[in-house]
Structure 1
Amino acid sequence: MAPSTSMEGDGNHTSVDMFILLGLSDEKELQLILFPVFLGIYIVTLIWNLGFIILVRINSNLHTPMYLFLSSLSFIDICYSSSISPRMLSNFLRDEKTISFMACATQYFVAACMSLAECCLLATMAYDRYVAIGSPLQYSAIMVPGHCWKLIAVAYGTGFLSSLVETVPCFHLFYCGLNIIQHFFCDIPQVISLSCSNPFICQMIVFLVALFVGLGSLLVILLSYGFIAVSILKISSVKGSTKAFNTCVSHLTAVILYYGTALSVYMHPGSKHSTKHKVLSVFYVIFVPMLNPLIYSLRNKDIKEVLRTVTKRSPLILKKQ
């Protein structure tokens, strides 16, 4: 596709119709080593998250608000990882690591949508844990299925609209000349830094979305855990307080992993082209979606029991056949 020519100011400029993703490394040998590693991670991510969704779906004992939120989180992680991993994997094997302008915009839109939706869903899950521990007698009346689906819809809707608000103006900037993105996916800070237009408005939009959605969700999580801590301290028995705390450990671990790495990346904009930035991005974009179902399964007695039941039934079904 030939680049198009347009006018800006008094000069002619060639508008960019594709970008070049430099990826994690420009060493061919290292890329060939990384390909099977990240392919394995992507396959495991799909299997674990899809398996978690199916497990929750087929077992009536898991038809509770907490598992409804967890299966929604698994769906988000599948979409999030799939928006980035296939392109990254193909680039490991290609000499020309190009991505079209529209594909770049689409990749960022989907990735940002899922990332922001995950922030909202993690906040929703923190609220769910607060209700379960702070008001256990009213939990069933408050967290009814209809209410849970509304909370999930709000999380998805917020992610969609916030991503749209970021993507449309940022990819409507004028891009000319430079088209090399020093990253393995189309992340908005790297993209708008290539623009020939003034990116101030777009930078403010990205900042406000991160402030209200990202940090806003984190504030809800922190407040929820503040109330949870107060509720746990009111429990007289050590066994009861330990049990209540254990119901939050998995979620708290997932929050620390996700927000810890994401904040490490985006709170240091000056180092956005560094190797450290790429490594941290790999962790929260690639590894966290794989780890989430494992984190929630390892300490979960219900999931372990369901897995034992399914494992026991499988040989019996095969024998009958």
Structure 2
Amino acid sequence: MAQIQIQHIEKSFGDFRALKGIDLHIQDQEFLVLLGASGCGKSTLLRIMAGLETADVGHIHVGEQRIDNLAPRDRGLSMVFQNYAVFPHLTVFENIAFGLRMQKKPQAWVEKKVQEVAELVHLEVLLHRYSGQLSGGQRQRVALARALAVEPKVILMDEPLSNLDALLRLEMRAELKTILAKSQASTIYVTHDQVEAMSLADRIAIMDQGVIVQCDTPIEIYRNPATTFVAGFIGNPPMNFLPAVALQPGVFEVAGMRLAGPTGYEALTLGVRPEDLHPASEGLTLQADVIEPLGAHTLVTALQAQGVFRAALPSDMALSPKQVLQLQPDLSRIRWYDAAGRLVTV
């Protein structure tokens, strides 16, 4: 079993507090993504798990074993880096076999295991080649195969697809999910790319300024972001926000609309995603300042006094610049946030 328990991890670099008490429980064979902008602390947490950094406070357990006091080689983890770290002077076979040779496995075991993982990542016909003869996607597979060959309890991945072009990233995402599911290892994956996070993760832990602000399934985070930060970070384009003022208990005025909302508040912020706005005879009035046909839908941007507002409208809808639109939000999809930016349930 490779359940991972991260308990109150803190880390500072001089006066800068990179991690401010991280608590996280990861299930056996779970694929957990650490998602956040640059500088939020996600890579620091991963490096502490790998033993490349030392926490100031806190403990990490894998199964029943505490690992933060062990040398990196004794932790039972494998790591895949952003730059692949494939050895150019070794063949694909020897790159994959590197960890097994460090463990002094017999040659017959090495050959058997390398062949198994090479087939898993579709490299079996390239075992004799050197890294300079490989594409970026093939080098990424080599790095993944090397990590899998030692049969780790946990695989740590630090933005492993960020150096690939967009089409190859799409292909590798699908392959990666299949390969790691077959490996039966628990995976912790760091990225700043929300599409990667949404498509790969069983759960996503969203980090901001050294803390985890929400940890849940991708669909739950998308539908019910816990804070305005999460709502504005997840989604492309992100959620729109509008000020809401109470006219009476449970009834709010929002951009000329009267909407039922939570009781007990004089003012709230309404959040609505661009795809949850629909053309109507009445509702929110917007001027289409920018029109972007995107195939599946047309993205309309309105530049308002209170900020940018976007709507994803049907691609066959006739639209022109400066056109005034009436849009009605899907009332089952709107979300309310208090003055501190926290989700309020109705």
TM tier relative to shorter chain: under 0.3
Larger proportion of strand:
2
Per the normalisation by structure 2, the TM-score is 0.21
Report the structure number with the largest CA radius of gyration. 2
Larger proportion of helix:
1
